[in-house]
Chains A and B, each alone.
Chain A
Amino acid sequence: MIKLNTILTFFALAFLVSCSQSENTVPEPPKVGSQSFKIIQENINGKDIVVVGSGQRNIVTAFEAGFGSVTLQFEPTSDFIPSVMKDQRGNTYNIFGQVIEGPDMGKSLKPVNAGMGFWFAFASRYPGMELHGEGTLDVNVNTDPDNDWLVPTQYVAQGAGFDAIQSLQSAKFEEYNVSQLDPDDKFYLNENDLVIAVNIDGEERVYPISILNWHEVINDEIAGVPISVTHCPLTGTSKVWRRPEFLDETTFGVSGFLYNSNLLAFDRVTESFWTQIEALCVFGDLKSEQLEVIPHVETTLATWTTFDISPLIMSDDTGIIRDYTKYPYGDYRTNHASISYPLAYDDDRLKRKERVFCVEVGGTAKAYRLSDF
């Protein structure tokens, strides 16, 4: 005979055990590297590149190391920001690689495909990739494409449907100036919040990651150039690309599919899938097409306002009700064990969610830690 009080006790205990709290852990700002800028200059896959960054300022960027066939030698400047480096010809450069003083004034270094992101994102996409100071690993991973895809489908997963995560079709901006802020009018970003700065023909816009965490793709236009600003919250990677003329400058959306846990965007003309990290079409009518990558800089709001004291920052008035002060994935960005989708390779040389800077040249990739700068 089952006793009633035994059963009630069971349910009471079960309820207590099942109670849990939500988490919304905010990552600590890095305390690594230097306040001043450091230069790393090297050859990747036959191309001379220059990587410039400051670990403590949480900012790294990379360019081809010269103009045309002329390779230049760079060193950090001791001047105040916005200059970050200079070359032997007497040119001084800003963080976008633009010559702001010197004989080549007005020219810009050619950007390379590079950006910040979680270590596991790059390590799974480029198995055995070079890690600065530690070399490469010899690993054997299946990267053969199958099923009409350009990538192995065993690492492709569907998390949601097309447009289930709403991309934005436009953006509003407001000038941000700390000295002019009303103390009672709290701005929705904190100084440690990450932002993406894009500069096209001298026009600059700043897109907060806290908005991109909810929408992943922002379709916008700067200086008449149609662009998509993208960020994948699961891999911590950002990319900006030009919306191509051959697609009538169409907007891009969030497909809900992931490759190595990384966003696959889709275009609204052919509904082909584009990998975010490489801006490459991997499935659909446009398979193998490459989008033109627009250089961007990812850093904290605090650092960015040292480059631009009154930047135009995207407004949280997106027309959609979201709390942009909240991170939508709990403790995911700080919990190194939390990975929900299959990865081609899980490289344990670094913790999975450590933010690193990755440069990719012709399919060869190299990662740099913030502590390298």
Chain B
Amino acid sequence: MLGCATNRIKVLCILLSVVNMNDAFAQACCTSSVPMANNQLDFTREEVGLSIAVDYDYNYLNDLVSENVRLDDRLRERISHAVLFSTTYMIDSSWGVNITLPYSIKIESNTSLSSSNERFENKVEGIADLSVFLKYQSRLTRKLFTVVSLGVKMPTGAIDHQNGETNILYAADLQPGTGSWDGLAILEGVYQLNPRWSLTTGAGYTLTSTASRFNDQVTYNFGNTLQVLAGGAYTYQMRAMTLSPSVNLRIRHSEKDISNGTPEPNTGGFWSYLQPAVQLNINNKWYLLVNTQIPIYRQLVGTQLTTTFRVRVGAKYVL
């Protein structure tokens, strides 16, 4: 009985530590968009009940990339901060619901080309888009555990923040919301090789819809996005605590955005990241996690400002 519970905790640890599909839902125009799901620390418990989690996501974008070449550009940077509040309720051992609400702060700053080196800064913050997932988890075999999530992202975030000085709307990718209803699908799996080592994989797809901009004069559709993640994890038991370092390869493909029915230049492409993470399970109530993303190779459409590195820190409490 005790052994079975220990194994379940290990599976839970591994899932929590390795699967981070949050920016499977990142909009293609710019990777600074707010992550809309909190899958690192949210749903993979097997027990019936309620859990709550808070994550902080820091996305630093300072790489101007033309196709696969990083250009010389030290003037422009963007920083996206997001705090994600999420709660998961498991109705029974298989079915559950997750709700995630992000609060976003995006800062775009450029160094002036004038001799003063003045900094121009745009800062936009607010509640971003709410997402709701229906989850189904299942142990397909003794060693293989899977989770399927289907969800919807709702346009609860504002898309009409204006620059107070010019009274002009900020650029769409600085706005906290996207204005669109999007469909989300995630599949995750963990294969337990032995009590300490496991293989992990996941895939997520975002199906976007059209939103309007500029008082309905322009329609905009962020590109659909597919992400695939694969790697491994090691579980180290320290008395009551469990430490799980992991490394994953994450690849992401985004279609071009569509503006007024035609593809938007400089959107979409292929990204790959190395994703090291560490999960600490303090006990069966508290979980902590640190996760980073480091770009390895990018093949973008045109020229885009994209992620230099990304860090995520989270905590989860099971009630």
Residues of A within 8 A of B (CB): 1-2, 4, 7-8, 10-11, 14-15, 17-20, 22-23, 147-149, 153-154, 156-164, 166-167, 169, 251, 253, 256-257, 268, 283, 320-323, 326, 328-332, 335, 337-343
In the bound assembly, the distance between CA atoms of A298 and B12 in angstroms comes to 66
Task: Tell me the residues in window 253-280 of chain B with beta carbons closer than 8 Å to chain A beta carbons.
Answer: 253-256, 259-266, 268
Q: Is B156 an interface residue (CB 8 A)?
A: no
A313→B138 CA distance, assembly (Å): 68
Besides A1-B138, A14-B224, A163-B110, 18 other A-B contacts (C-beta < 8 A): A11-B226, A20-B256, A23-B263, A147-B167, A158-B163, A158-B169, A163-B112, A166-B73, A253-B113, A253-B114, A268-B113, A320-B71, A322-B71, A323-B66, A323-B69, A328-B303, A330-B301, A331-B265
Cross-chain contact of B168 among A157, A166, A335, A337 (Cβ < 8 A): A157
A167/B170 in contact, CB under 8 A: no
- Would you give the shortest CB distance from A262 to chain B, in whole angstroms? 14
Partner of B114, one of A8, A251, A326, A335: A251
B168 with A156: CB separation less than 8 A: yes
- Contact status A4-B260, CB under 8 Å: no
Complexed CA–CA distance, A339 and B66 (Å): 22
Contacts of A335 on B, CB cut-off 8 Å?
A: 262
A-B residue pairs in contact (CB < 8 Å), sample of 18: A1-B138, A7-B148, A14-B224, A18-B226, A20-B255, A147-B167, A153-B167, A153-B168, A154-B215, A164-B75, A167-B113, A268-B114, A323-B69, A330-B266, A330-B301, A331-B265, A338-B260, A338-B263
* Most chain B CB inside 10 Å of its own CB: which residue of A22, A154, A169: A22
Distance from B303 Cβ to chain A, minimum over Cβ atoms (Å): 6
Residues of B122-174 whose CB lies within 8 A of A: 122, 136, 138, 140, 146, 148, 163, 166-171
Asked if A161 contacts B109 (CB within 8 A), the reply is yes
Contact, CB under 8 Å: A19 / B253 = yes
Q: Is the CB of B217 within 8 A of A328?
A: no
B contact set with A: CB distance below 8 Å: 66-67, 69, 71-73, 75-76, 108-114, 120-122, 136, 138, 140, 146, 148, 163, 166-171, 185, 187, 203, 205, 214-215, 217-218, 223-226, 228, 253-256, 259-266, 268, 301-303
Check A340/B73 contact, CB under 8 A, given A157-B169, A159-B171.
no
Interchain CB contact under 8 A, B214 and A154:
yes
B266 and A337 contacting across the interface, CB-CB below 8 Å:
no
Partner of A164, one of B110, B224, B260: B110
Chain A residues with CB below 8 A from B215, complex form: 154, 342
Interchain CB contact under 8 A, B262 and A337:
yes
Q: Is the CB of B113 within 8 A of A11?
A: no
Q: Closest chain B residue to A8 by CB distance?
A: B187
Q: A163-B111, A329-B265, A337-B262 are in contact. Are A2 and B302 (CB under 8 A)?
A: no
Chain A nearest CB: distance from B213 CB in Å?
8
CB within 8 Å: A-B pair count: 152
Return chain B residues, CB-CB under 8 Å to A148. Answer: 167
Which residues of chain B come closer than 8 Å to A332, judged between CB atoms?
Answer: 265
Bound complex: CA A20 to CA B302 (Å): 13
Chain A residues in 8 Å Cβ range of B261: 337
Q: In the complex, are the beta carbons of B303 and A342 less than 8 A apart?
A: no
> In the bound complex, do residue B171 and residue A158 qualify as a contact, i.e. CB atoms below 8 Å apart?
yes
**Nearest-CB distance from A205 to chain B (Å)?**
21
Tell whether, in the assembled complex, residue B259 and residue A4 are in contact, meaning their CB atoms are under 8 Å apart: no
Q: Which of B67, B108, B259 contacts A340 (CB 8 A)?
A: B259
CB distance from B113 to the nearest CB of A (A): 5
> Which residue of A is nearest B144, CB measured?
A4
A325 to chain B, nearest CB (A): 12
Shortest distance between the CB of B216 and any CB in chain A (Å): 10
Complex CA gap A7/B121 in Å reads: 44
Cross-chain contact A162 with B120 (CB below 8 angstroms): yes
Given A7-B187, A22-B67, A341-B214, A158 and B264 contact (CB-CB distance below 8 Å): no
Given contacts A2-B136, A328-B303, contact A320 B72 (CB under 8 A): yes
Which of A2, A283, A340, A343 has its CB near the most chain B CB atoms (within 10 A)? A340
Q: Given A15-B226, A18-B225, A22-B302, A341–B110 Cβ distance below 8 Å?
A: no
Provide the bound-state CA to CA distance between A332 and B264, in Å: 8
